[in-house]
Amino acid sequence: MREYKSTRAEYRQSIEDALFDYFTGDSAVTSYRSAMQRAMSDAFLSAYEVAYTDGGAELPLDEDALEWLAARQDAELSHIKELFATLKDMRAQYRAKEITTADVKAEIERRRDGYSATLDSVYVTGKMFAQANKMVTWQYGETEHCDTCASLNGKRHRAKWFISRDYIPRKPGAAMDCGGYRCQCSLLDDKGKEITL
Ligand SMILES: [Zn+2]
């Protein structure tokens, strides 16, 4: 079984490649978009399965876990589609030499970081599913705090309680008021061991 780190590094590279090729290449947008979508589907599955075993469960993934992953992959396919639509103007500007390669690279890096944060949350959720019935406690992170994270601090429930409410630490777009974007919160088991990232 591969380590999560290598899946993550490979995914980041695939995103950079797909986006850079999009800005510089001559093929139809669909080819770059499909490349990134394929990389996403593979990376999500790989990260999730590694997380599941890192969390102490045995493959294959159970039904609830699989269902969550399929929904997450679907949502991300749409995000990627929107991303290429959003970048269209920038690509035109780049081709007209109104912006520089450095501008394009900065944008690509920003996108790459966003998408790999989502991959982190897929990994985190896979670990939570592996320990779905374990009692875990929400621990407040060292960031500006939102009301949801503040009210969750110290709360102890089964991991699946948090999953079903989409209270997933650091998950971009999660149900906490902070949306998880700057969240540094984590979940600890009763021995004080972090079960998330
Ligand atoms: Zn938080």
3-state secondary structure at position 58: coil
Domain borders along the chain are 4-129, 133-189
CA of 178 to the centre of ligand 1 (A): 7
Summarize pLDDT for 110-167 with one digit per residue, the tens: 999 999 999 999 999 999 999 999 999 999 988 777 899 999 999 999 999 999 999 9
CA of 141 to the centre of ligand 1 (A): 6
| Predicted confidence (pLDDT) at residue 12 exceeds the cutoff of 60 | yes
The pair of structure tokens assigned to 47 is 């990260």
CA pair distance 101, 23, nearest whole angstrom: 9
Provide the whole-model pTM: 0.93
Mean pLDDT of 17-28: 96
CA pair distance 102, 68, nearest whole angstrom: 37
3-state secondary structure at position 33: helix
List, in order, residues 6 or more apart from 110 with CB less than 8 Å away: none
Summarize pLDDT for 64-94 with one digit per residue, the tens: 999 999 999 999 999 999 999 999 999 999 9
Mean pLDDT rounded to a whole number for the chain: 94
| Predicted confidence (pLDDT) at residue 1 exceeds the cutoff of 60 | no
CA of 105 to the centre of ligand 1 (A): 30
